[in-house]
Amino acid sequence: MLPCEVPIFPLPNVVLFPAALLPLHIYEPRYRAMVGDALEGDRLIGMVLLRPGWERAYEGTPAIYPIGCAAFITHADRLPDGRYNIMLRGIEKFRVVNEKPARGGIDRYRLALVEAVKDAPTGSATALQEARGRLETLIARTLHRSTGDTIPKDISDSDLVHAIAQHLEPLEKQALLECHGPLARCVALAELLEMRIMARDGKSRVH
Tell me what pLDDT residue 107 has: 64
Query: What per-residue confidence (pLDDT) applies to 136?
Result: 84
Q: Which residues neighbour 26 within 8 Å (Cβ) at sequence distance 6 or greater?
A: 32, 35, 83, 84, 85, 86
pTM of the prediction? Answer: 0.83
Over residues 16-66, the pLDDT tens digits come to 998 889 999 999 999 999 999 999 999 999 999 999 888 777 777 889 999
Strand 109-116 versus strand 5-11 pairing type = antiparallel
Residue that wins the pLDDT comparison between 204 and 160: 160
* Gyration radius (Cα) of the chain, Å: 19
Amino acid at position 88, single letter: L
Nearest to 15 by CA among 170, 163, 158: 170
The pLDDT value recorded for residue 197 is 81
Question: Is residue 168 within 8 Å of 192, Cβ to Cβ?
Answer: yes
- Tell me the domains of the chain and their CATH numbers: 5-116 (2.30.130.40), 125-206 (no CATH)
DSSP annotation of 60 = S
**Average pLDDT of the chain, as a whole number:** 85
Interval 175-202: pLDDT, tens: 999 998 888 888 898 888 888 888 776 6
Average pLDDT over residues 143-162: 68
Q: Which positions ≥6 away from 82 have C-beta within 8 Å? A: 29, 32
**162, burial (CB in 10 Å: exposed 0-12, middle 13-18, buried 19+):** buried
